[in-house]
Amino acid sequence: MKGIYTQLEVKSPKKNAFYGFMSKTHFLLSTTYSLMNSRNWFDKLVLYTDKNSWEHMSVLEELIDEVIFIPNDAVPRECYATWSAGKIWVLSQQNEPYVHLDNDAYVLTPKIIIEAKSKPIICHIKEPSLLHKDGYVRQFKIIEKYGTEELPGFEHDFNHHITSYATGVVGGQSWDILQEIFGNVMNFLHNKKPVEDLATALEQGYFAMFCRGNNIDVEPMLLENMNYDKCWREMRRTGYIHLVGGLKKGLFLGEDLVKKYAEEKVLMAYPHIYKKIINLGLED
Q: What is the pLDDT, as a whole number, of residue 84?
A: 92
Amino acid making up residue 122: I
SS3 content of the chain, % helix, strand, coil (to 5): 45, 15, 35
Contact present, 121 and 177 (Cβ < 8 Å): yes
Of 34, 17, 151, 171, residue with least CA distance to 84: 17
For residue 220, the Cα-to-chain-centroid distance in whole angstroms is 14
- The three-class DSSP label of residue 119 is coil
Residue ranges of the chain whose pLDDT lies below 70: 10-20, 128-133, 159-161, 223-232, 236, 245-256, 282-284
Q: What is the pLDDT, as a whole number, of residue 15?
A: 45
The 10s digit of each residue's pLDDT in 38-52 is: 999 999 999 999 998
- Which pTM does this prediction carry? 0.91
Q: What is the pLDDT, as a whole number, of residue 14?
A: 41
Q: What is the pLDDT, as a whole number, of residue 250?
A: 57
Give the C-alpha separation, 169 to 4, whole Å: 10
Give the C-alpha separation, 43 to 258, whole Å: 26
126's enclosing H/E stretch is: strand 122-127
Q: What is the pLDDT, as a whole number, of residue 13?
A: 41
